[in-house]
Amino acid sequence: MPADDGELVRRTLEGDWEAFSALVDRYRDAVCGVAYHHLGDFEEAQDAAQEALVRAYVRLRQLREPGKFGPWLRRITSTICADLLRRRGDRMLSLEEGTPAPAAGAPDDAERVAARLVVREALARLSQQSQLTVALYYIDGYTAAEIADFLAVPVNTVRTRIHRAKAKLREELIAMVSDVLHEGRPDAEFAKRVVEEAMGRGDEARNAHATGEALRHFDEGLAALEKMPAGPERQKLRMDLLWRKGGVSEFSPGRAEAAALYEQALAVAEEIGAREQQAALMVTVGTNRANMGESEKAREWYERARGLYHEIGDANGEASCLFWLASQHLFGERLGEAKPYVEEAVELFKRGNSPMWVAVCYATLGLMREVGEQRFSDLAMWGAGCVGLEERDGVVSFAFEPGIGYTDGESAPSELSTTVVFWQMSHAGKLLDPSVPVGGGWSGDAFSYSYQPLKARVTVKSTSERITVPAGTFEGCLLVEQVTEESGLRDDAPEQKRKLNLEVFCGTRRAWYARGVGLVKLDVRRADGVEAVIQLREFSVADGGDAYLPLALGNEWAYEWAGLPEGYVSKDAYRVATREGAAWCLEHYAFAYGAGAADRPQS
Q: Which residue ranges make up each domain of the chain? A: 5-182, 224-373, 381-598
Does residue 585 contact residue 402 with C-beta atoms inside 8 Å?
no
Q: Residue 290 contacts by C-beta under 8 Å, 6 or more apart in sequence?
A: 298, 324, 327, 328, 331
Q: What pLDDT was estimated at residue 26?
A: 84
Helix (H, G, I), strand (E, B) or coil at 454: strand
In what helix (H) or strand (E) does residue 299 lie, and over which residues does it extend?
helix 295-312
Nearest to 277 by CA among 312, 246, 248, 303: 312
Read off φ and ψ for residue 579, nearest 5 degrees.
Answer: -140, 135
CB count within 10 Å of CB 212 equals 20
The CATH code of domain 5-182 reads 1.10.1740.10
- Asked: is 224-373 a CATH 1.25.40.10 domain? The reply is yes
Do 224-373 and 5-182 fall under one CATH topology?
no
Neighbour-count burial of 65, counting CB atoms closer than 10 A to its CB (0-12 exposed, 13-18 middle, 19+ buried): exposed
**Contact in structure between 34 and 74 (CB atoms under 8 Å):** yes
- Residue 473, H or E segment: strand 472-486
Rg (CA), the chain: 31
Under 8 Å between Cβ of 336 and 564: no
Which of 369, 438, 372, 367 lies closest to 405 in space, CA to CA?
A: 367
pLDDT of residue 184: 44
Sequence-ordered alpha helix ranges (H) in 40-154: 42-58, 69-88, 110-123, 128-137, 144-151
What is the predicted pLDDT for the residue at 258?
95
pLDDT score of 179: 54
**Distance from C-alpha of 114 to C-alpha of 112, rounded to nearest angstrom:** 5
Which residue, 12, 491, 504, 527, is CA-closest to 253? 491
pLDDT at 392: 92
Question: Alpha-carbon distance 538 to 540, whole Å?
Answer: 7
Give the number of other Cβ atoms within 10 Å of residue 601's Cβ.
Answer: 7
Which residues contact residue 116 at a Cβ distance below 8 angstroms, ignoring those fewer than 6 apart?
42, 102, 108, 180
Going by C-alpha positions, the residue among 273, 271, 361, 371 that lies closest to residue 325 is 361
State the Cα torsion 439-440-445-448 to the nearest 10°.
Answer: -30
> What is the structure's pLDDT at 598?
47
- Residue ranges in the chain modelled with pLDDT below 50: 91-115, 117-118, 139-140, 170-177, 181, 183-188, 598-603
Using one digit for the tens of pLDDT, what is the confidence trace for 246-270? Answer: 999 998 889 999 999 999 999 999 9
Q: Hey, how many other C-beta atoms are within 10 angstroms of the C-beta on 444?
A: 16
CA distances from 329 to 280, 322, 340, 484 (A): 21, 11, 11, 36
SS3 string, 29-57, reads HHHHHHHHHHHCCHHHHHHHHHHHHHHHH
- Give yes or no for a contact between 24 and 183, defined as CB atoms under 8 angstroms apart: no
DSSP-assigned states of every residue in 537-599: EEEE-SS-TT-SS---TT-EEEEEEETPPTT-EEEEEEEEEEEETTEEEEEEEEEEE-HHHHT
**pLDDT given at position 255:** 92
* CA dihedral of residues 364, 244, 235, 284 (deg, nearest 10): 20
CB 542 within 8 A of CB 488: no
Position 162 scores a pLDDT of: 73
The rounded distance, in Å, linking the Cα atoms of 209 and 575 is 29
Residue 576 backbone phi and psi in degrees, to 5? -70, 115
Q: Which pLDDT does position 106 carry in this prediction? A: 41
- Candidates 281, 265, 266, 351; CA nearest to 321 is 281
For residue 522, what are the β-bridge partners?
A: 511, 534
pLDDT of residue 239: 97
- Peptide bond between residue 253 and the one before it cis (omega within 30 degrees of 0): yes
Nearest to 218 by CA among 235, 191, 237, 190: 237
pTM score: 0.75
List the end-to-end C-alpha distance of the chain, in Å, as a whole number: 83
The helix or strand, by DSSP H or E, that contains position 237, with its residue range, turns out to be helix 232-249
